[in-house]
A and B are shown apart, each in its own frame.
Chain A
């Protein structure tokens, strides 16, 4: 039996978001919330392997009561159990405090039913930190494969998993022991179109609610704002990229155009030494 646990987040739909030009803050008012897209693919991958191997997918999220919608979406995709970790005392958590809460919950779920693989999206589209997955893995002392694009093999007998991950220059195929954690790119699996019974089941599904009152206990000093060492002292929007200069071969001829371009490149500060040529 394969037991996958997926940690998801409900995020504002940033494709719809605007930035207040005065305060540089996200205008969240009226912006719909969605299941973080990378997390959706992580759930899809977990479900795909559950269907191959037989077993169970548990989904957890820490967030407000409205995050139930995103949990239901995971059930719709084929997850079996969903846990909402929600309490005012968790509010204001940074990635440090969040990974503490998640790892405590995962420990508890693991104690109920041993977990083989812990899935995360590669990052959330609102904060873009990509810290929670690795943070949880470190706290749980699990091997972590980030930016996973494909799960080649899950060998429950020999407790091994083979995962392909993306790096800036090439893909790496990594074998590691189970249990393990991974953070997923969208390529990891296609989002399935649920059957009608699965959809209807998900619409009626009520996730379990875990709070500071139970079923497990948390160290109060590690929760919420109090447990969050990160301080945001300034936020800003990056400057818009200015359009480049166009050198037209039709006007200058190819040779002259290339020469003009080269001169401009070499004239740029530090470029000549970087390229190892004389000015």
Chain B
């Protein structure tokens, strides 16, 4: 039996048993290390929330036999794209089949409470020790180096020469280490609110034009959903539920004096959305912060004895709904670096710098660098949330109803519906700015 008075010592401490944490932990364990994962929730996933979909490439990267392990997934994403909302209309621009119809499908809808518990369990099966219900509040330092953590429990010290911080958006520990000098910023942090609404699978299939329950949607909703504020709505299909929500930056919410649930209610009452969820039962109402600052709010990723991954390291690409995959990829890179550090017997920043080098070679840092001006761009160009979605609705609406009218007049009217909202020169400028900032061209 275990001696209660032994000093708790491991090779690696992972703070947070989410997507990044469990990926880091299992990677380190595979390298032969004795790994502990400390989770503040009752179970992994109980504090986690997203829209949302997971991306297959990252899941297979950790578990090549991922699908054989019977993960608790909802539906594959077989149709995806944008819905542009005007006040009372909608233009749908989605893609299905073709490049989306891969084997396996590229994205799967999931519920984090179920999925993350399972995800952490896979790591436990490979020897990771999980301590739940425990909050890491500080670090143990020796000669300026991190050599362990302090938890909120009595006699709560745990020792390890390397700590991987996967604490999520509320990155108090990352701040405590001085890896970032400020709390999260209101203009770079979105608050997303969502409802999970249960509906029979057949009803979902009928209403959304899905041929079976093996088909599903992941939709970015742009326009009226955010009331012109920099933000996006979303819709995801579960097996017998719909996940609908909206995320807007904190600064914009507070400046506009709009409460998040009002925004969500308005979205759900939109004439194009309400019929989709009519008769559904509210299963879950939740909210979570999303670090959308990317490159501009990214902390230093390592120091002597510690590395940071996932939301805590601002690894989110709001434009592409990427975050979970960045977390997993970064977690793996941190785990590999911990193994390397143990092999060298050196846990200084010089060795742990390899973590950053690893990430430089992946989409994580490449994309975050490319999108570094994204949140400021959206902030400076609210017309992408307002003018263009409305124009798109008007233009297509007019084009397809212009029967019996001289078409020259029709095109002039369509152009006018743009120029009355945004001068042509500015519109061209917006497009160029979009290409430059977002697409990197």
Interface assignment of A111: CB less than 8 Å from any CB of chain B: no
A229 to chain B, nearest CB (A): 38
- Residue among B4, B129, B151, B157 with the highest chain A CB neighbour number at 10 A: B4
B275 to chain A, nearest CB (A): 24
Judging by beta carbons under 8 Å apart, are B155 and A199 in contact?
no
A225 to chain B, nearest CB (A): 32
Interface assignment of B409: CB less than 8 Å from any CB of chain A: no
Judging by beta carbons under 8 Å apart, are B131 and A200 in contact?
yes
Residues of B within 8 A of A (CB): 1-2, 4-6, 8, 129-131, 133-134, 151, 153-158
Q: Which residues of A contact B129 (CB under 8 A)?
A: 203
- Residue among A195, A196, A200, A204 with the highest chain B CB neighbour number at 10 A: A196
Judging by beta carbons under 8 Å apart, are A201 and B2 in contact?
yes
Judging by beta carbons under 8 Å apart, are A201 and B4 in contact?
yes
Contact mask for chain A residues 194-211; partner B; CB cutoff 8 A; 1 contact, 0 none: 111111110111000000
Judging by beta carbons under 8 Å apart, are B5 and A197 in contact?
yes
Judging by beta carbons under 8 Å apart, are B151 and A200 in contact?
no
Interface assignment of A233: CB less than 8 Å from any CB of chain B: no
Q: Which residues of B contact A205 (CB under 8 A)?
A: 1-2
Chain B interface main SS type: loop
Judging by beta carbons under 8 Å apart, are B151 and A196 in contact?
yes
Are A195 and B155 also in contact (CB < 8 A) when A200-B8, A204-B2 are?
Answer: yes
Q: What 9 pairs across the A-B complex have the smallest Cβ distances? A: A195-B154, A196-B153, A196-B156, A197-B4, A195-B155, A204-B2, A201-B4, A201-B2, A197-B155
How many residues on the A side are at the interface (Cβ–Cβ under 8 A)?
A: 12
CA distance A200 to B157 in the complex (A): 12
CA distance A193 to B156 in the complex (A): 12
CA distance A195 to B5 in the complex (A): 11
CA distance A204 to B130 in the complex (A): 10
Chain A interface main SS type: helix
Judging by beta carbons under 8 Å apart, are A196 and B133 in contact?
no
Judging by beta carbons under 8 Å apart, are A199 and B2 in contact?
no
4 additional contacts (CB under 8 A) given A196-B157, A205-B1: A194-B153, A195-B155, A195-B156, A199-B153
CA distance A198 to B151 in the complex (A): 13
Judging by beta carbons under 8 Å apart, are A203 and B131 in contact?
yes
Q: Which residues of B contact A200 (CB under 8 A)?
A: 2, 8, 131
A81 to chain B, nearest CB (A): 11
Q: Which residues of B contact A203 (CB under 8 A)?
A: 129-131
Q: Indicate which residue in B5, B6, B133, B157 contacts A199 across the interface (CB closer than 8 Å).
A: B133
18 A-B pairs with CB atoms under 8 Å apart are A193-B153, A193-B154, A194-B153, A195-B156, A196-B131, A196-B134, A196-B153, A196-B157, A197-B6, A197-B8, A198-B4, A199-B131, A199-B134, A199-B153, A200-B8, A201-B4, A203-B131, A205-B1
Judging by beta carbons under 8 Å apart, are B158 and A196 in contact?
yes
Q: Which residues of B contact A197 (CB under 8 A)?
A: 4-6, 8, 155
CA distance A205 to B6 in the complex (A): 15
Q: Indicate which residue in A195, A201, A204 contacts B153 across the interface (CB closer than 8 Å).
A: A195
CA distance A197 to B157 in the complex (A): 9
- Residue among A197, A198, A205 with the highest chain B CB neighbour number at 10 A: A197
Instruction: Give residues of chain A (198-228) contacting chain B, Cβ–Cβ below 8 Å.
Output: 198-201, 203-205
CA distance A195 to B154 in the complex (A): 4
Q: Which residues of A contact B130 (CB under 8 A)?
A: 203
Q: Which residues of A contact B6 (CB under 8 A)?
A: 197
A70 to chain B, nearest CB (A): 13
